[in-house]
Amino acid sequence: MSERWKVVIIGGGFGGLSAAQRLNSNLVDVTVIDRRNYHLFQPLLYQVATGSLSAGEVASPLRSVLSRQKNTRVWLGTVVDIDPDSKRVFLADGAIVPYDSLIVAAGSQTSYFGRNEWQEWAPGMKSVEEATAIRHKILYAFEVAERLSDPVQRRAWLTFVIVGAGPTGVELSGAIAEIARQTLKNDFRSIKPEEAQIILLDGAPRALMPFPQDLAEKATRSLAKLGVEVRCGAMVKNVDKDGLTIDSGGRTDSIAAKTVVWAGGITASPLGKIVASHAKAETDKGGRVKVKPDLTIPSYPDIYVVGDLASATDEKGKPLPGVAQVAMQGGAYAAKAILRKVKGHSELPPFRYFDKGSLAVIGRAAAVADVFGLHISGLLAWLVWAFIHVTYLVSFQSRILVFIQWAIQDLTFNRGARLITGAAPTDFNFSRELSEIKRAPVNVPR
Ligand SMILES: Cc1cc2nc3c(=O)[nH]c(=O)nc-3n(C[C@H](O)[C@H](O)[C@H](O)COP(=O)(O)OP(=O)(O)OC[C@H]3O[C@@H](n4cnc5c(N)ncnc54)[C@H](O)[C@@H]3O)c2cc1C
């Protein structure tokens, strides 16, 4: 039996992996537990959803990422409970894992603000499965439209609505516009893909709220050039198989759209509430666990909560955003704090988030970036965005593959991962739609 200090990390995302990599020391035994066997680079998921990249290029097996770290083992399993008093973690398969220090980095999930039934018609984009399903949905819409002759139905199939004009919504709508206007331009006979309507909705007064106003305006203008209609101040009231109902300043409108994607918000992993209830900690309204300035839970100095699951503030009391850098820096801080404790060194000063800025890509060679307070846009911002994203991809192989894919795509406008694979996901009810199409007149090419 090892006498070394046992560190258990729940979640191999940005926060958990960053912690694990910094715990590469023969002073500790590390166990990383994740319900998936891979680390997912979520910022590029929209490229999986829009056929630029395949899933394997944005996900790396955790076991291989950590294979050289001999003090670290990876367990595939879902954590369902913890007991902070006996210091044990419980898995869904019945396994019990003891710890001396625990890092909880279980992330977040899509929030439909209490209207989970909308998920059936407006999938979110938090997993490879969802991104692949969205790709399916987008490409399928063009296929269905090609076979319809009724202009009203065809219009609904060629209308794409993205709810949420944060960076993900901006990136996704720009990419769908490029698919319609460039990638698929010559591929259909009955429809003109470039006539597709792409609408980006948000309840906020402008797109990209976390960005400075001038950059948000530039992004909105770039999206308009690509053919994306940005509608702000629009609250979604309902989503169903035929589209959405929105409220814009008291006026109710319906949008007939067969493809709706939800980029509207996130809420903490349910594990947050479980951890908080056992450790008598508080959660914020998004279900995130309120942590002390050293990222531990009050009364339990051996439990760290980092990343999207933590409700932490900066030195002025402003909540830290749910972004990859916060998670990575939080994970690194927790690892450092644990190693200092094991070595018997003094405690670290409170966690300080170092904000390197925000980036959002709009389309081919276009982006906006706020880097260290410097506002840049266009090609330069895109180069910064591309450099950062390739650098932060976990595996060297992915970096090379992604770089090659982008180069090919920029030269040819082609998107390699355009296959509609697998069965139609049940949540889209395509079979129902297809039965309607069978009854509709078929376009016979002359
Ligand atoms: C589409 C999209 C685009 C984004 N774009 C950007 C961007 O451009 N820039 C940026 O900075 N941020 C971006 N983000 C946000 C960023 O990805 C998150 O802030 C970051 O992933 C948070 O890291 P985390 O470690 O807290 O959680 P995650 O990276 O989500 O990792 C959580 C891990 O915990 C595992 N897990 C969850 N529950 C359990 C359980 N019960 N048992 C076992 N394992 C569990 C999950 O499988 C997952 O691997 C984006 C997010 C999304 C969804």
Span 103-131, pLDDT tens digits: 999 999 999 999 999 999 999 999 999 99
- The mean pLDDT value for 269-280 works out to 96
Query: Is 348 part of any domain?
Result: no
Nearest to 183 by CA among 363, 54, 401: 363
Same domain membership, residue 246 and residue 382:
yes
Same domain membership, residue 153 and residue 22:
no
Same domain membership, residue 375 and residue 331:
no
**Beta bridge partners of residue 247, listed in sequence order:** 235, 252
Residue owning the nearest CA to atom 17 of ligand 1:
42
Query: Is 153 part of any domain?
Result: yes
Q: What are the tokens at 109?
A: 């999930």
Task: Please check the confidence at residue 417 and state whether its pLDDT lies above 70.
Answer: no
User: In the prediction, which pLDDT does 392 show?
Assistant: 86
Task: Please check the confidence at residue 416 and state whether its pLDDT lies above 70.
Answer: no
- The mean pLDDT value for 125-150 works out to 94
User: In the prediction, which pLDDT does 437 show?
Assistant: 46
Same domain membership, residue 274 and residue 211:
no
**Which of 343, 365, 382 represents a domain boundary (last residue)?**
343
- The mean pLDDT value for 138-160 works out to 96
Query: Is 30 part of any domain?
Result: yes
Q: What are phi and psi of 317, to 5 degrees?
A: 85, 5
Confidence of residue 407 (pLDDT cuts 50, 70, 90): confident
Residue owning the nearest CA to atom 8 of ligand 1:
43
Do residues 367 and 380 touch, judged by C-beta distance below 8 A?
Answer: no
Beta strand ranges found along 140-194 (DSSP E): 159-163
Whole-number average pLDDT of the chain: 91
| Least confident interval from 107-121, 251-265, 286-300, 351-365 | 351-365
**Beta bridge partners of residue 253, listed in sequence order:** 246
Domain that holds residue 240: 116-264+357-433
Best mutation site among 323, 333, 354 for ligand 1 pocket (most ligand atoms within 8 Å of CB): 323
Task: Determine the distance from the C-alpha atom of residue 166 to the mean position of all C-alpha atoms in its chain, rounded to a whole number.
Answer: 11
Same domain membership, residue 333 and residue 260:
no
Do residues 222 and 362 touch, judged by C-beta distance below 8 A?
Answer: yes
User: In angstroms, what CA-CA distances link 188 with 41, 258, 402, 415, 436?
Assistant: 33, 19, 28, 16, 21
Best mutation site among 10, 14, 31, 389 for ligand 1 pocket (most ligand atoms within 8 Å of CB): 14
User: In the prediction, which pLDDT does 410 show?
Assistant: 73
**Which of 285, 317, 343 represents a domain boundary (last residue)?**
343
Confidence of residue 390 (pLDDT cuts 50, 70, 90): confident
To the query of whether residue 436 is one of the catalytic residues in this protein, the response is no
Q: Specify the ligand 1 atom closest to the Cα of 263.
A: 1
Beta strand ranges found along 27-100 (DSSP E): 28-34, 38-40, 59-61, 72-76, 79-83, 88-91, 96-98
Confidence of residue 432 (pLDDT cuts 50, 70, 90): low
Q: Specify the ligand 1 atom closest to the Cα of 77.
A: 43
Do residues 269 and 106 touch, judged by C-beta distance below 8 A?
Answer: yes
% of the chain with per-residue pLDDT over 70: 93
pLDDT in tens, 192-220: 999 999 999 999 999 999 999 999 999 99
Nearest to 20 by CA among 102, 93, 82: 102
128 C-alpha to ligand 1 centroid (Å): 12
User: In the prediction, which pLDDT does 445 show?
Assistant: 41
Query: Is 156 part of any domain?
Result: yes
Task: Please check the confidence at residue 363 and state whether its pLDDT lies above 70.
Answer: yes
Q: Which helix (H) or strand (E) holds 18?
A: helix 14-22
Name every residue whose Cβ is closer than 8 Å to that of residue 131 and which is 6 or more positions away in sequence.
45, 46, 48, 49, 55, 125
Q: What are the tokens at 366?
A: 């276009």
The terminus-to-terminus CA distance of the chain in angstroms comes to: 77
Same domain membership, residue 223 and residue 123:
yes
How long, in residues, is the chain? Answer: 446
User: In the prediction, which pLDDT does 444 show?
Assistant: 42
Best mutation site among 42, 288, 353, 384 for ligand 1 pocket (most ligand atoms within 8 Å of CB): 42
How many structural domains compose the chain? Answer: 2
Residues with CB under 6 A from ligand 1: 10-16, 33-36, 42-43, 45-46, 78-79, 105-107, 125-126, 167-168, 269, 271, 307-309, 322-325, 327
Same domain membership, residue 142 and residue 249:
yes
CATH value at residue 318: 3.50.50.60
Q: Specify the ligand 1 atom closest to the Cα of 79.
A: 42
320 C-alpha to ligand 1 centroid (Å): 15
User: In the prediction, which pLDDT does 420 show?
Assistant: 77
Query: Is 287 part of any domain?
Result: yes
17 C-alpha to ligand 1 centroid (Å): 11
Same domain membership, residue 221 and residue 153:
yes
CATH value at residue 214: 3.50.50.100
Same domain membership, residue 312 and residue 276:
yes
Residue owning the nearest CA to atom 6 of ligand 1:
43
Same domain membership, residue 213 and residue 144:
yes
Q: What are the tokens at 295?
A: 């990222």
- Tell me which of 171, 178, 217, 347 is the catalytic residue: 171
Nearest to 253 by CA among 144, 151, 161: 161
Q: What are the tokens at 133?
A: 């399903």
**Which of 320, 343, 366 represents a domain boundary (last residue)?**
343
User: In the prediction, which pLDDT does 394 show?
Assistant: 78
User: In the prediction, which pLDDT does 398 show?
Assistant: 81
- The mean pLDDT value for 286-315 works out to 96
Query: Is 60 part of any domain?
Result: no
pTM: 0.92
User: In the prediction, which pLDDT does 428 show?
Assistant: 44
Q: Which helix (H) or strand (E) holds 324?
A: helix 324-343
| Least confident interval from 19-28, 72-81, 121-130, 385-394 | 385-394
| Least confident interval from 55-64, 151-160, 298-307, 384-393 | 384-393
Same domain membership, residue 191 and residue 255:
yes
Confidence of residue 423 (pLDDT cuts 50, 70, 90): low
Q: What's the count of helices (H) and strands (E) in the chain, helices before strands?
A: 13, 25
Question: What is the spatial distance between Cα 412 and Cα 389, in angstroms, rounded to a whole number?
Answer: 21
Task: Please check the confidence at residue 248 and state whether its pLDDT lies above 70.
Answer: yes
Query: Is 43 part of any domain?
Result: no
Same domain membership, residue 92 and residue 238:
no
Query: Is 278 part of any domain?
Result: yes
